[in-house]
Chain A
Amino acid sequence: MRQTPNARAFILLETLMALTIVGIALSLFWQARLFQLDVDAKVLRDFAETRLLRDVAILRDLDALEQLDTRAYAPLGADDVQRAMTTAPMHGGQ
C-alpha cells in the first residue's frame, strides 16, 4: 500500500510566534540604536562642558574672557556658555 507523506503547513500559532520573535528582535535592535545615540550625545556634551569650564576658568584668571570662542563648544548652546562664564570656578592662578 502506498503511503502519502504527511505534508503539513505552519499553523497560525507558529506563524504568530515567529513574527513575535522577529518583532522582539527588531525592537531590541532599535532600542540599542537609540541608547547608543543617547550615550554618544551625553559623552559629547560632557567633553564640551569639561573643556568649556576649564577654558573659562583659565581665561578668567588671565582676565581675557572676551577671547572665548562661544561657537567652539557644540553641542552646548549659547545659554550654557553664558552660564559657564558666570559660574565656572577659578583655575588656580598663575
Chain B
Amino acid sequence: MLRAFSLLEILVALLVGASLMSVAGSLFGHVLDYRQHADATRSTIAHDMALQLLAADIDNSLAGLPTSPAIAITQLPQGGHRIALKKNTYAQGIVNIALRDIVWTLEPDKITRSVTGGTDPVIVATGTFRSDITPIQTVAYHLRLDSGADVKSVILWRKGGRL
C-alpha cells in the first residue's frame, strides 16, 4: 500500500538536508581558503629556494681574472636583473662536470637559471616581485626581492672574497 511521507519525516529530511548543505558549504569554503594559503606558501618557499640556490652558485663561483669581476650583474630592459657567473657544474643531459656559464635572470614575473650546454632556462620561481641589488663594500651585494606581501633578502658573497 502506498503511503505519503508524514510531516515529521519531511521535516527531518529538510533538517538533515540543510545541515548537510551547511557543512558542505563550510568545508568547500575552507578548502578554497586552504588552497589559496597553500599556493601563497609554496610561492614563498620557491622564492626562498631560488635565493638559496643563487647564493650557493655565487658562493662556489670561480674568480675572474684580476681585472674582471667573478660575477656580472646587469639590469634587464623590462625590469629586473641578470646575474652571470662561471662555475664547475653539470648541465642537464650532459654527464661530465665542466666549467660552465650560469645565468640567473630575476624578471618581474619569474626567476630563471640557465647553464650553457643545457636545455632551456629552468624556471625556479614564479610570482610578481621587484628585485633590487646594492653593493656592499665592493666585495658583496645585497639582493632584495620584494613581492609586495613580504621582502626577502640575501647577501651575495663569494668564498674567495672578491666579486
Contacts and interface: CB of A to CB of B under 8 A. Distances in A.
Interface residues of B, number: 30
Contact of B48 (A36, A51, A59): A51
Interface residues of A, number: 27
A18 to B, nearest CB: 12
Interface in B123-163: 136-137, 139-140, 142, 144, 150-155, 157, 159-161
Given A37-B37, A40-B45, A69-B144, A62 B153 contact: no
Interface in A50-89: 50-51, 54-55, 58-59, 62, 64, 67, 69, 71-74
Interface in B24-46: 27, 30, 34, 37-38, 41-42, 44-45
B45 to A, nearest CB: 6
A69 B45 contact: no
Contacts of A92: 159
B34 A69 contact: no
Interface of A is mostly: helix
A73 B47 CA distance: 12
Nearest to B146: A72
B52 interface: yes
B29 to A, nearest CB: 13
Interface in A16-59: 26, 33, 36-37, 40-41, 43-44, 47-48, 50-51, 54-55, 58-59
Contacts of A36: 38
Interface of A: 26, 33, 36-37, 40-41, 43-44, 47-48, 50-51, 54-55, 58-59, 62, 64, 67, 69, 71-74, 91-92, 94
10 contacts: A37-B34, A37-B38, A43-B45, A44-B44, A44-B45, A47-B45, A55-B153, A67-B142, A72-B144, A91-B157
Interface of B: 27, 30, 34, 37-38, 41-42, 44-45, 48-49, 51-52, 55, 136-137, 139-140, 142, 144, 150-155, 157, 159-161
Given A55-B153, A69-B153, 12 more contacts: A37-B38, A43-B45, A44-B48, A47-B52, A51-B52, A51-B152, A55-B154, A58-B157, A59-B136, A72-B153, A74-B150, A94-B139
Please name the 6 residue pairs, one residue from A and one from B, whose CB atoms are nearest each other, closest first: A94-B161, A72-B153, A47-B48, A40-B41, A55-B155, A58-B155
